[in-house]
Structure 1
Amino acid sequence: MTAPRTQPLRVLLVSHYYPPHLGGIENVVRNEAVQLAALGVDVTVLTSGERSGAVDEAGVRVVRVRAWNGVERRAGVPFPVLSPRLLPTALRLVRRADVVHVHDCLYPTSWAAGLAAALTRTPHLVTQHVALVEHPSALVRGVQRAVYATAGRSLLRRARAVLTLNAGVAAFVGRYGARPARSHHLANGVDPVLFRPAASAGERRDARRSFGLPDDVPLVLFAGRLVPKKGYDLLLAAHAAEPEPGYELVFAGDGDSRALAGRTGVHHLGTLSAERLAELYRACEIFALPSAAEGFPLTVQEAMASGLAVLTSDDPGYAPYRLDPGLVALVPRQVPALRTALASLAGDPELRGRMGDYARHYAETGFSWPQHAEALLRHYAEALPDRSPHHPSPRPPRP
């Protein structure tokens, strides 16, 4: 019988970006890191940055490798180009890790960590957030396919576990080499204290005023990058197609905002911190994200926790969540369908209230970061060579 572990479990989390860079994957990784550290795990994060270096943040060691982000700035594609120091840094960090947890197969940080894990025979897991992303550029689509067919396939095939957010992504990783017995559904969490409903009509009114938004009309919020796969253009078209919409659109996120400029009833607030975004959720009544091939976006979970009526894509990948279609609007990514659904929600405050109550209750019971972290510990334990389940010992403070 194997003796229980007496040293803290050492986990290397790998992500192409990490806060303060804003985005869904980086927020997931940060929450995982903080939750695991609170459970006594020795957590290190390998990521990119404007300069190389290592710092301790909230009990987590964050190691950044210098990267050029021109691809994101110029083309809206979040793909950092990292310095040659990436592979030696990954090898150094993987050698001291018990388990490597890679987030998404598409990025150089994942490839380097996967290669280092193979060379050192360190078990690794993969969380795959999305399948192939729709993009207007044939070059971007081709690069995605090439990466998933090569480095992605290797990462998925050798992974001790592959974690996915919805049925569509689960099918995708199966096509690219993930072993069915090692594929598992695992929902992300959400902070129900930060993301909460407005406590009163007065608090909602104050939140609106802090953003310069009108008081007398329902507000439909879109939170995310202004790129086609998110469907922001579909919302604009649905709004423009309605002679008297009865609602106004609010956009929070970066990207090409020229399509929003000068439109009546359309507000663009840019990129917001998590705290300001949480306040903006409380200012609005409806959340709309007609995105494509995204798993279960964090912004949808945040909107549900904030008690908003949620409208999102009618994607069969959502099946594992068993959402009530009468209380979450799952709509085709088509302008006429969006126009009809938004008009219906804007004109029916009682329906919005029922949908918001359902969303909040679902978030409180179904999206828990502590439960997510406990599930990760179980997967890590199964990935270890001795396969002995354990709870990590308390970690001593770093010198």
Structure 2
Amino acid sequence: MSTSDRPLRVLLVSHYYPPHLGGVENVVRQEAVRLAASGVDVTVLTSAERSAVRHEEGVRVVRVAAWNGAERAGVPFPVLSPAAVPAALRWARWADVVHVHDCLYLTSWVAGLAAALTRTPHLLTQHVGLVAHPSAVVRGVQRVVYAVAGRGLLRRARSVFTLNATVAAFVRRYGARPDRARHLPNGVDAELFRPAGTAAERATARRRFGLPEDRPLVLFAGRLVPKKGFDLLLAAHRPADGFDLVFAGDGDTAGLPGQPGVHHVGALSPEELAELYRACDVFALPSTAEGFPLTVQEAMASGLPVVTTDDPGYAPYRLDRSMVRLVPRNADDLRAALVELTGDPVRRAGMADYSRRYATAEFAWEEHVRSLVLHYRDASGAVPR
């Protein structure tokens, strides 16, 4: 059967995939499921405790056994078993295109090598730049990896997708060809992530998570690591200011238990997190070097006012700065913004309406998938249908 007589075959590559919880894996799952629904034959290559091949939601998921002990130390870096090499070669040979997510991981290196050996064109989505990890060793290793393995993947990629201006500059610095760099925002599921329909629905969600019903709630969602700014948010909080903090995510929880006005609900599935967004009043993420992370998109789709770091990576999105609070990354400015918003329900309502309208207009998964398919067909030489 010729390539014009069968569905387009795409190998998506990600270091993690659900049920592992995290932003990149959620994006890859959405891409995979929605591509499959559009008629693309999709295989995902990822890591797991044990090797397995299963069909999940119309997608073939190839899991390669890996050691994941480093994640417990805050370094999400699965170390693949030797079985990764033949698996990558087999599925790269099967595919018309290989789409790698992030060039930092072993899954990406193995898939990139397999794509080169089988002469299968590959594309790459780079989610982040250099992570400001507290360990100098980890920061140094990142630079070496990006300068060696990362540079090769970026240089050979037919297209390099980035989510914000900061990462776009990063990929060009590490070898991506300027004429192949593409700005492609992630999509967001605006049906799952939606505002609470009624006050009763919000109250029910608060009761489910054991949250107070009589105080404004400021939500943080993400890994509890310095890069995300959870410690900065804690430093900006005073119970007398009249609002509580809610943290969703795992990581460094040592400073959370017992603090007045602070609630930790742990790591949540997307469905649980969507309900938690509906329980809260403001979303705050004082992270660094992220631009437009997925949780900000989800919060906006859920109709929450957003307070986040004034990062140059937001520039391509042309946000109305009166409707999204982009603040300097320090506790005083963060606290002032949160005190203002939690004390002004009218302003919150206006920002919430803007968030929802912006998210549904700018973060449509249908447009994201349509763009991917066009780039896949261009890279593979397939004729658009």
Report the TM-score range of the alignment, normalised by the length of the smaller protein.
Answer: over 0.9
2:76 and 2:253 map into 1 onto residues whose CA distance is 17
Gap change, CA 1:4 and 1:390, over 3 Å in 2: farther
Structure 2: which amino acid aligns with 1:38?
A
Task: State the percentage of identical aligned residues.
Answer: 71
| Alignment partner, residue 153 of structure 1 | 151
| Contact 2:290–2:311 under 8 Å retained in 1 | no
SS at match of 1:20: coil
| Alignment partner, residue 268 of structure 1 | 264
1:58-115 residue CA offsets vs partner (Å, 9 max, x unmatched): 1100000001111001x11111111111111101110100000000000000000000
SS at match of 2:303: coil
Give the drift of 1:295: 3.6
SS at match of 2:166: helix
The match for 1:349 among 345, 350, 353 is: 345
Give the drift of 1:23: 0.4
| Alignment partner, residue 175 of structure 2 | 177
| Alignment partner, residue 65 of structure 2 | 66
1:121 and 1:112 map into 2 onto residues whose CA distance is 14
1:46 and 1:90 map into 2 onto residues whose CA distance is 7
Gap change, CA 1:4 and 1:60, over 3 Å in 2: closer
Give the drift of 1:243: 6.2
Name segments (4+ residues, structure 1) moved above 4 Å: none
Pairing 1:234-383 to 2, within 5 Å after superposition = 234-239=232-237, 242=238, 244-383=240-379
1:31-51 residue CA offsets vs partner (Å, 9 max, x unmatched): 000010011100000000010
1:147 and 1:169 map into 2 onto residues whose CA distance is 16
Q: Does 1:121 align with 2:119?
A: yes
Structure 2, unpaired ranges of 5+: none
| Contact 1:4–1:390 under 8 Å retained in 2 | no
Gap change, CA 1:4 and 1:66, over 3 Å in 2: closer
Structure 1: which amino acid aligns with 2:289?
A
| Alignment partner, residue 90 of structure 1 | 88
| Contact 2:290–2:313 under 8 Å retained in 1 | no
2:316 and 2:378 map into 1 onto residues whose CA distance is 23
Pairing 1:130-141 to 2, within 5 Å after superposition = 130-141=128-139
| Contact 1:16–1:47 under 8 Å retained in 2 | yes
The match for 2:76 among 63, 78, 90 is: 78
SS at match of 1:43: strand
Give the drift of 1:120: 1.1
| Alignment partner, residue 210 of structure 1 | 208
Structure 2: which amino acid aligns with 1:149?
A
SS at match of 1:126: strand
| Contact 2:195–2:302 under 8 Å retained in 1 | yes
2:279 and 2:235 map into 1 onto residues whose CA distance is 23
Structure number with greater CO (CA < 8 Å, separation at least 6) is: 1
2:348 and 2:75 map into 1 onto residues whose CA distance is 34
Give the drift of 1:206: 1.1
Give TM-score scaled by structure 1 length. Answer: 0.95
| Contact 1:99–1:383 under 8 Å retained in 2 | yes
Gap change, CA 1:320 and 1:284, over 3 Å in 2: same
2:148 and 2:302 map into 1 onto residues whose CA distance is 40
Structure 1: which amino acid aligns with 2:130?
L
Q: Does 1:193 align with 2:187?
A: no
Pairing 1:27-46 to 2, within 5 Å after superposition = 27-46=26-45
Give TM-score scaled by structure 2 length. Answer: 0.98
SS at match of 1:355: helix
Count residues with an aligned counterpart: 384
Structure 1: which amino acid aligns with 2:52?
G
SS at match of 1:205: helix
1:71 and 1:121 map into 2 onto residues whose CA distance is 33
Gap change, CA 1:243 and 1:13, over 3 Å in 2: closer
| Contact 2:164–2:314 under 8 Å retained in 1 | yes
Q: Does 1:104 align with 2:98?
A: no
Give the drift of 1:185: 0.2
1:298 and 1:253 map into 2 onto residues whose CA distance is 14
SS at match of 1:213: coil
